[in-house]
Structure 1
Amino acid sequence: MDIILAQQLAVSYYNQCRHIMLAQFIEFTRRFYLGIGTLNGGFQHVISARPPTPIEVFFARYPEYPYDQSRETMSQFWEMSSQFGWGERVNHEALGGLRDAIAQQFNDIYGADVNDLQAWQRLCGLVGDGSIPDNITACRAVIRRVHVNICDLVDYPATTIPPPVFFTESALAKYSREFGKIFPRKNAYSGGLLKFLLRHIFHPSHDLGIGSDSGRTSAGG
């Protein structure tokens, strides 16, 4: 069996395991994000029941743009930048503000404390291999083996689109660059969990295995 076929089979099995965990995780994230006690009500009906998210606050600064939280955050940012004809300076400043909001929203959804076992378990349930370890060390080992984009994790509760998980740093890097979903290494609002998920995006490792321990302190997706 060649390497490519073996990797394809591994991805297929992995995605089957993830499907089960996603069904359980989606209820937690939807309840947390929408601030409701039931998932049966209409989406628009319950929006007013919670305070605005950091990303909503960011886009509220630009009322001329029709922000839609059910769509991906970064695609809307780049669309808005093009629509307004922003130059490099304005675009850079606005992007910095959005990245702050993304970090804050990640912390709100997934947590920021690296000593919080439940926070690690939530991440394992969403992007792990189907197992939910009962200790932080084992959880870290699970998360270390996968590569996922920060922006996709933050968008997931609203879009309900499962974040794609990549088995190599290079694959994540290519995806993040292609769709403009790059999160900086240094951000004042980044918590420990977020930093652990960062990978090399501009100089990724070229590993062939399922994970890489490098890159968690460099600009990442």
Structure 2
Amino acid sequence: MQITRLWRPGTATPASEMVRGGGYFAQFEGFTPQMNAGFLNQFNKLAIHENWSKREKARRRDEAVETEFAHYFGTDYHDVAKWQELCGLVGIEIDGLSSITKCKKALGSRKVMVNLVNLGDHLKNGTPLKKFKNFWDFQRYTLKPGRCMSRTLAKKNAFVSVLLRHVA
């Protein structure tokens, strides 16, 4: 079987369009997002620019991940093509995934371990999507500072919530 790709990293929404058309970082006056910067690097620079406290920075980080993800995938959770696109993006063969339910089931598999911050960098810059050999490697990577997302905020976006894994 052949994997059908609906999307190629770095082509769906170039970083230059993201700055003009929205995205989390574009909303802050006086802050110029760097086109090739990773999410954490860019977010930390924004936090310094805005002089956020640690508490505010933590709150805003989750909001930024969610907003960036919505920027690329939108919020039409009834579009099977978007669900298939997400499946293909994380390496799931989309042949036979003809419904949203089938896509969600495939994405919810314990074998699908995707760090949301890394996925955001992959969408924005084409940074390689990290593949984890086992849950322990995924957990160790995800629990590093700035790579986790609040479960409450993540559940607001169906595309994000299906990729949530309990790591702590």
Change (3 A) 1:122 1:54: same
The amino acid that maps onto 1:70 is N
**Residue 136 (structure 2) pairs with residue 175 (structure 1):** no
| Structure 1 residue runs without a partner (length 5+) | 1-16, 35-42, 203-221
Question: TM-score of the superposition, structure 1-length normalised?
Answer: 0.60
**1:166 aligns to what?**
132
**2:86 aligns to what?**
123
Instruction: Verify the 8 A CA contact 2:155 2:161 in the aligned structure 1.
Output: no
Question: TM-score of the superposition, structure 2-length normalised?
Answer: 0.75
**2:74 aligns to what?**
111
SS at match of 1:124: helix
**Residue 101 (structure 2) pairs with residue 137 (structure 1):** yes
The amino acid that maps onto 2:11 is R
Counterpart CA distance in 2 for 1:192 and 1:144 is: 12
Q: Which of the two has greater helix per residue?
A: 1
Larger Rg: 1
The amino acid that maps onto 2:64 is A
TM-superposed CA distance for 1:112, in Å, is 3.3
Counterpart CA distance in 1 for 2:33 and 2:129 is: 21
Counterpart CA distance in 1 for 2:155 and 2:64 is: 8
**Residue 59 (structure 2) pairs with residue 96 (structure 1):** yes
SS at match of 1:197: coil
Structure with more relative contact order (C-alpha pairs < 8 Å, separation 6 or more): 2
Counterpart CA distance in 2 for 1:139 and 1:187 is: 22
Identity of aligned residues (%): 21
Counterpart CA distance in 2 for 1:193 and 1:80 is: 25
- Equivalent of 1:71 in 9, 12, 37: 37
Counterpart CA distance in 2 for 1:142 and 1:170 is: 21
Counterpart CA distance in 1 for 2:103 and 2:131 is: 16
SS at match of 2:136: helix
C-alpha RMSD over aligned residues:
3.3
SS at match of 2:128: coil
> Number of paired residues?
163
| Structure 2 residue runs without a partner (length 5+) | none
